[in-house]
Amino acid sequence: MFEQALINGMVLSSIYVLMALGFTLIFGIMKIVNFAHGEFYMLGAFALYFVYQVYEVNFFVAIILSAILIGLFGMLLEKFMFRRLGNDELRSMILALGISIFLQNLAILLFGATTKAIKAPFQGMLDLGFVKTSYYNVFIIIVSMVILAVFYIFIKKMKTGQAFIAVSLDEEIASVQGINVKKIKMIAFGVGIFLAAFAGALVTPLYTVSPMAGVNALLNAFIVVILGGLGSIMGALWGGLIIGLSRSYLTTYVGAAEADLLIFIMIAVVLLIKPNGLLGGSHQ
Is pLDDT at 123 greater than 80 in this prediction? yes
Query: Could you report the per-residue pLDDT of 19-31, keeping only the tens digit for each?
Result: 999 999 999 999 8
Report pTM.
0.94
Cβ 236 vs Cβ 34: under 8 Å: no
Q: Is the predicted pLDDT of residue 130 greater than 90, yes or no?
A: no
Is 121:224 a contact under the CB 8 Å cutoff?
Answer: no
What CA–CA distances, in Å, run from 147 to 5, 37, 241? 23, 18, 15
Q: How far apart are CA 19 and CA 70, in angstroms?
A: 14
Structural domain spans, the chain: 2-212
Non-local CB neighbours of 154 within 8 Å, separated by 6+ positions? 160, 161
Banded pLDDT at 198 (limits 50, 70, 90):
very high
pLDDT band of residue 135 (cuts 50, 70, 90) is very high
Least confident of 11-15, 87-91, 95-99, 276-280: 276-280
Closest CA to 25 of 235, 227, 197, 173: 235
Of 221, 199, 224, 195, nearest in space to 209 by CA: 199
Cβ contact 147:16 at 8 Å: no
Structure confidence by residue, pLDDT tens digits, 33-46:
999 999 999 999 99
Instruction: Let me know how long the chain is.
Output: 284
